[in-house]
Chains A and B, each alone.
Chain A
Amino acid sequence: MDPVSQYGFINAKLRAKLGLMKESHVIDELLKTNSLVEAVAVLRDTKYSEVASVFDSTGDLQQMEVVFLHGEIAMYHEVARYLDGKPSDFVHLLLGKIEVDNLKNAIRLWYSSLIRHRPMRYRSEYLYKQKIVWPIDWPALVNATTWDNVVKALSSSPYHDVVKKYTQESIEELGLFSLESELDLQYYAQIMEGLKSLSSDDRQVAQRIFLVDLDLKNLLIMVRFGWFYHLKADQLYPLLLPWGKVYKSKEVQTFIATQPEARDPFVIIDRFYPGLGEKVHHVVEQKRGSVKSDELTVLQNLAMESYLHERRKDVFHSILGSDPFTIGLPLSYFFLVKEENSMIKAILNGKYYGYTEEYIRGVFA
């Protein structure tokens, strides 16, 4: 199928939706509100009216977040329906991220209940329990009384290969961090494999997005775990996602090989993102003395994440301005919708906890 036939319709449809998103002032109006009740009123006449209805009937913020999750899954399915062949398969593959996140949440609940003995109670009901990509027995997973039962609940999915490497004892001893990293790694491996099946134009655009994504994630892993948590080389190296220019760079190899206490992430940051180092230093200078050292590190991390997020946003915006008949447009659309949803969820949470407009704006900045 030629690109125009493949992407013509979805291009028009998504651009119309993006146009409406651009015109919408929902984020600004939400920020201006004084309470959760007032924030919900802003959503009433928008495409998020279902979220407002759920608030009316339940008053439960987490239940409202479930509506967003359902909406995001429906969004991927809708776009996949309008595409054919490999691009459609690839969009389905992207749903894997939602599935992995849902799975991580389910396992965290299980871990908290079975290992940490904190009753799960109603919390499992906030999980998405229908099929996303692979058949997973979600009720069996959240009701598993042993790790073996968790593994069994995932037996028909590719996640089985990852979880079966762990035992209840190893999970008890080491926690979930390593497992979650492996699940993420598996998702990216599937994506990189999926990219190979796309046409050359699609592959080029999608690679541009995912390689930037991978570079940013690797950078954050190195800063957070290599610099802040001082992980040793043999613990740090497996956490990195083995793709992208950051992973392959000499600077990274040097960084990992350096003694944890002597590592300097700014060498890598300045090498790949020259503006970022300056931004992080600025945060340090601004806050030094007024906050504790560990809080300062958290702020540095936040500054970095926000900078890297902006770079991703730049990539998506530039893709929106380039060839319209590639998979770039659906990918950009997913990103922008998810970004808007995340912001709305964050604002609603902020309003629930009584944060002011200035504070929330500060966090977003």
Chain B
Amino acid sequence: MNLFTRPMKLLTAVVLEQTTEAVIKALLQLGVMDFVHINRLDPQQMEKLSTKPSSVSRMALEDTRHRVEALLRQGHIHLPSSEFLKVDDLQKPDLETYKNVLDALNIQLLTLKDKQKQCNQRLIGFEEMKRYIAEDKGEYLDLRLGEFTHGTQEDLSSKIGSFGGILDEIKDVGKFISLTLRRDVSQVDPLLEKFGWEESSDAGLQRQALTIVTHRLEDECRKALLERSEVEGEVDAVIAEKKSKLIEIWGNLRLNELCDQIRSYFAYTRNTTLFSGWVPSDQAQAVSKAIFDASDGQCVIEWTEATEVNREEVPVAISMPKALEPFQRMVNNYATPEYGTVNPTLFVMVAYLIMFGLMFADVGQGFILLLVGLFVKFNYKKNPMKPDGLLSRNIATLLLYLGGSAITFGLLFGSYFGMNIFPALWFNFDAVVSGHAEGDVFKNVYDILGLTVKFGIVVIYTGLGINWVNLTRKKAWLKLILDKNGITGGLLFGIGLYMAFGFVKTGYHTFPTDPWITPVLLVCLIAMFFRGFLAYYLSVKEGGKTHDAGKVIFDSVMEWILDTLEIFTGYLSNTLSFMRVAGLGIAHASLMEAFKELSNMAGGVWGIAIFVLGNVLVIVLEGLSSGIQSLRLNYYEFFSRYFTGKGVAYEPVGLKSNFSL
């Protein structure tokens, strides 16, 4: 794990053209290079270079791969993962052969699907009749009992079948039952007449006929359903039979797509190939060796340090333990950190979990969150190819952390499903909220509000601290000293806090009047006033654009006014914003108290039901709002102090690169 983004190096290499393919394979295997187009480095040099069109279009490769994926999915076979790709298996793609394989398989499947359709149509026809019998709608049915004098049973059965009906023989009696729909009577009548149908007058048999034919219908439905499912199984079997071939094709197509992607960054002279890309510094040696080996030593490799390139062009790679992924995602969802700055994931994790714990402090409910997280994770582990649902893999991991946080704070505040079973390790939150706190450090809700405001101050100062580290690393001295989020801003925020706490200390009567306050305030504000002018001066000195004096004055003064306003109002609102943590914590305790009261009033089974339902409701609603509010505080109050979001994500081309589905 690295507190900062990973250091990067820019590689520029020249290899002999005949070794290009080997180099591509080696780089693909390593999968650490984020390629850049050569023309981005030196557009003038590009004029002397050429590009080569691919022998096979990447679009064609991708389309064919999609065809393979469609067939695999039809066969309920999970798509192969990148683990399956082996660079050594790479071959020139024979798209024509692949097409023939896929077409032939498609024809086979469509034939089976047609058969399945016919089974389905037979099934729904029988089900219609079965339904009419079950709903006692005999008026829609034409049930006959008798015998025929001409033709064969098979012939008559097939003809009745063409109306969706059935002909059933009653064994040992030599009689037949014909069941069709009455709507077809005008055609069934002449048909039976043609076969010399004679109705039976046996009343006993007529009574049995409906039962017999119902059983037969049930049999037919079962058979049709089974046949339909068997065809589905056959479809799966046909694809399963071709599975290895399909996966082999898929793998080769994917490898060729990746190679083509790498190749698209290459530029060529008559005999050499030139390419460039970003690599994490710790991988530089491995990349050099791979290129050297693949090109038999016939290569020229140059490394450029990230410090020599515009910071905003350097891709940002971050190394974080996998366990912290939910928090890394929170950061990535916001934006990519700037190259060389602090990776805020660890800070986000700490701040997020404390905020959540303060809002959702309960051992029992935290335990439920933990169990849900474990259950969902276990479920995904059991079905690794299962797509993410509402409770995704990431949320499941996050629930484990949130559960842990709720349990920790629950222990500190002594809350177990809203009850105080064991004494609180710190103070009894519920008692404070309900006004029964005795002898604790925290006596009323104002004390809780004060606690969260102080926590907010720590978060804001942590943000400022990270910003100062980032600015120092960027050598942005002016900003470090005079920016609203710089040392001056921090100092002004500190003065504000000193005055506010002093005001509270006097029982909200007077502000502190220490003699140093006004001079320090004035010095800070005056210093900030000159920031715009100094920034302009330094920019011009470094070759930046010059502007009219009026514009410079106007811009600088406006910037100063806005920064000053932002310091006085922004810091105040950011700090007070943390009171929402107390608010939600109080709401959580109050809701649990209300459900406890209701449960006691109802008593017995109803009391238990209310208690359980109350807990479920609180876990879902409060859990969700606490999670969202913690995220919001991190994004707005914490990130706004230091996060520029100007980074470019590091996206190396490798076997694990994402592919379009």
- Residues of chain A whose beta carbon lies under 8 Å from any beta carbon of chain B: 32-38, 40-42, 44-45, 55-61, 63, 110, 113-114, 117, 119-122, 124-125, 139, 142-145
The distance from the CB of A344 to the nearest CB of chain B, in whole angstroms, is 16
CB atoms of B181 and A143 under 8 A apart? yes
Which of B63, B73, B103, B232 has the most CB atoms of chain A within a 10 A radius of its CB? B73
CB atoms of A38 and B71 under 8 A apart? yes
CB atoms of B106 and A59 under 8 A apart? no
Closest to B182 in A: A145
Contacts A35-B106, A45-B661, A139-B132: A144 and B228 contacting too (C-beta < 8 A)?
no
Q: B247 on the interface (CB 8 Å rule)? A: no
CA distance A121 to B123 in the complex (A): 11
CA distance A113 to B124 in the complex (A): 18
Q: B21 on the interface (CB 8 Å rule)? A: no
Of B112-120, B325-333, B406-414, the one contacting chain A is B112-120
Q: B565 on the interface (CB 8 Å rule)? A: no
Q: Which residues of A contact B231 (CB under 8 A)?
A: 59
Of B10-18, B183-191, B447-455, B520-528, the one contacting chain A is B183-191
CB atoms of A139 and B140 under 8 A apart? yes
Q: Which residues of A contact B114 (CB under 8 A)?
A: 59
Q: Which residues of B contact A34 (CB under 8 A)?
A: 67, 102-103, 106
Closest to B140 in A: A143
Partner of A57, one of B122, B125, B232: B232
CA distance A122 to B164 in the complex (A): 7
CB atoms of B69 and A41 under 8 A apart? yes
Contacts A57-B228, A125-B128, A143-B140: A120 and B117 contacting too (C-beta < 8 A)?
no
The distance from the CB of A149 to the nearest CB of chain B, in whole angstroms, is 10
CB atoms of A60 and B70 under 8 A apart? no
Closest to B162 in A: A119
Contacts A58-B117, A59-B120: A113 and B74 contacting too (C-beta < 8 A)?
no
Number of A-B pairs whose CB atoms are under 8 Å?
107
CA distance A126 to B152 in the complex (A): 33
CB atoms of A119 and B106 under 8 A apart? no
Partner of A119, one of B67, B116, B184: B184
CB atoms of B162 and A41 under 8 A apart? no
Q: B127 on the interface (CB 8 Å rule)? A: yes
- List B residues 76-129 near A (Cβ within 8 Å): 102-103, 106, 109-110, 112-117, 120-122, 124-125, 127-128
CA distance A32 to B65 in the complex (A): 13
CB atoms of A60 and B117 under 8 A apart? yes
CA distance A320 to B113 in the complex (A): 41
User: Considering the complex of A and B, which 8 residue pairs feature the smallest CB-CB distances, nearest first?
Assistant: A41-B70, A59-B116, A59-B113, A122-B125, A143-B140, A58-B120, A121-B164, A38-B70
Closest to A44 in B: B73
Q: B515 on the interface (CB 8 Å rule)? A: no
CA distance A121 to B162 in the complex (A): 8
Q: Which residues of A contact B184 (CB under 8 A)?
A: 113, 119-120
CB atoms of B70 and A33 under 8 A apart? yes
**Do most interface residues of chain B lie in helix, strand or loop, or is the interface mixed?**
helix
CB atoms of B120 and A144 under 8 A apart? no
Interface size on B, residues (CB 8 A): 46
The distance from the CB of B74 to the nearest CB of chain A, in whole angstroms, is 5
Q: B195 on the interface (CB 8 Å rule)? A: no
Closest to B125 in A: A122
CA distance A61 to B118 in the complex (A): 11
Q: Which residues of B contact A124 (CB under 8 A)?
A: 128
20 A-B pairs whose Cβ atoms sit less than 8 Å apart in the complex: A35-B110, A36-B113, A37-B110, A40-B70, A40-B74, A41-B73, A42-B70, A44-B73, A57-B228, A57-B229, A58-B117, A58-B120, A59-B113, A59-B232, A60-B116, A60-B120, A63-B120, A117-B186, A125-B124, A143-B140
CA distance A55 to B127 in the complex (A): 19
Q: B384 on the interface (CB 8 Å rule)? A: no
Contacts A38-B67, A41-B74, A59-B231: A120 and B183 contacting too (C-beta < 8 A)?
yes
Q: Which residues of B contact A55 (CB under 8 A)?
A: 113
Closest to A120 in B: B183
Closest to B121 in A: A122
CB atoms of B187 and A119 under 8 A apart? yes
CB atoms of B63 and A32 under 8 A apart? yes
New A-B contacts (17) at CB < 8 Å, excluding given A114-B186, A145-B182, A145-B183: A33-B67, A35-B109, A35-B110, A37-B106, A40-B70, A41-B71, A42-B70, A58-B117, A59-B114, A59-B228, A114-B183, A121-B164, A122-B125, A122-B164, A124-B128, A125-B125, A144-B183
Q: Which residues of B contact A122 (CB under 8 A)?
A: 121-122, 124-125, 128, 164
CA distance A125 to B121 in the complex (A): 9
CA distance A117 to B12 in the complex (A): 79
Closest to A39 in B: B70
CA distance A37 to B106 in the complex (A): 7
Q: Which residues of B contact A139 (CB under 8 A)?
A: 132, 137, 140
CA distance A45 to B389 in the complex (A): 12
Interface string of B145-189 (1 = CB under 8 A from A): 000000000000000001110000000000000000111111100
Q: Which residues of B contact A33 (CB under 8 A)?
A: 67, 70
